Amino acid sequence: MRAVLCNAFTGPEDLCIGEVEEPKPAGDEILIDVHAASVSFMDSLIVSGLYQMRPPTPFVPGTEAAGVVIAVGQKVTRFQPGDRVACGSWTGGYAERMVAKESKSVLLPAGVAFETAATVWHNYGTAYYALTEGARAQPDETVFVTGAAGGVGLAAVDLAGHLGLRVIAGVGSDDKMALVRRYGACDVINYRSENLRERIKSITGGEGVDVCFDNVGGTIFEQMARLMKWGGRLMPVGFTSGQIPSVPMNLLLLKNYSIVGVFAGAWAEKFPEQAARMNDTLAQLLAEGKIRPHIDRVLPLEQVKEAMRAVANRTVQGRIVLTTIECGGGGKRGTDR
């Protein structure tokens, strides 16, 4: 079968299209005919050898996909051939077929396109886990989301609004402001051109934020360590700046706030039944139109390098999706197949 191959941890530019043997599902796995797969910053880190885990090379990258079940393992009870599903896995999505754990897969609501479905469960799963399990966020609390126009950040903005939170969105350029406002941000800060400390204090009346959902790390996280409200939750989600921050622990002591790490993938591995219930909740919200995944563009599988370059250069709003099905030049397909 056709797939994207990572032969060494040298980054997106060395990825290539090749032929690999079709995977076989284990007892607790399903085999999926992939129609669409999303491209995340995590995927770029994995192929560059910069993520927490390194799969054996060569491997097929791609952590999230959607398609049709064509076979199931003997222990699988929730799915059968012909089901339309979305799924997550550490690797394997950038291929014509992939395997995924039953616990990391979910039935698609009727009418949801594969391209849309391929962008939901990593983005919104991370946001849902962070806000509901990690932060225990309550209605009317204020959350500051950094990297708010990216895939995970925009999902956090969207979901936070559904949960009744007041959202402050942080972006790195003015052209991203309109999108985060459409997704429910009450206030928007360009932290590359504005004084973050002054703006947060002005917006919150000097009190700071209840929850900080930080995708960026570096100096932004260090600044937010001084801008938390009493009893707040400062949440490191990712480090797209490339800098892992350090925080003086006396800052937490002074305001009794917490730093709560967010690694949704590891949580899903450790608590698969809870993760499966979360996936079902997200599917219901998607079916009801209460969450709105945003697709920046759809490209053919062969343009994986272009997709990852765009993610690395922070020119993507929402998610880029790769399709394994020919669509006449890389445009969006009108319907699922």
Q: What is the pLDDT of residue 313?
A: 85
112 and 133 both lie in a single domain? no
Quote the CA–CA distance of 317 and 158 in Å, as a whole number.
13
83 and 104 both lie in a single domain? yes
- CA 215 vs. chain centroid, Å, equals 10
6 and 77 both lie in a single domain? yes
Q: Are 107 and 100 in contact (CB under 8 A)?
A: no
- Number of compact structural domains in the chain: 2
CATH number of the CATH domain containing 244 = 3.40.50.720
111 and 36 both lie in a single domain? yes
Quote the CA–CA distance of 173 and 196 in Å, as a whole number.
14
Share of the chain above pLDDT 70, in %: 96
Q: What is the pLDDT of residue 88?
A: 92
Task: Find the domain containing 10 and state its range.
Answer: 2-119+294-323
CATH number of the CATH domain containing 67 = 3.90.180.10
135 and 253 both lie in a single domain? yes
pLDDT tens string 30-69? 999 999 999 999 999 999 998 888 999 999 999 999 999 9
Measuring CA to CA, which residue among 271, 324, 311 is closest to residue 103? 271
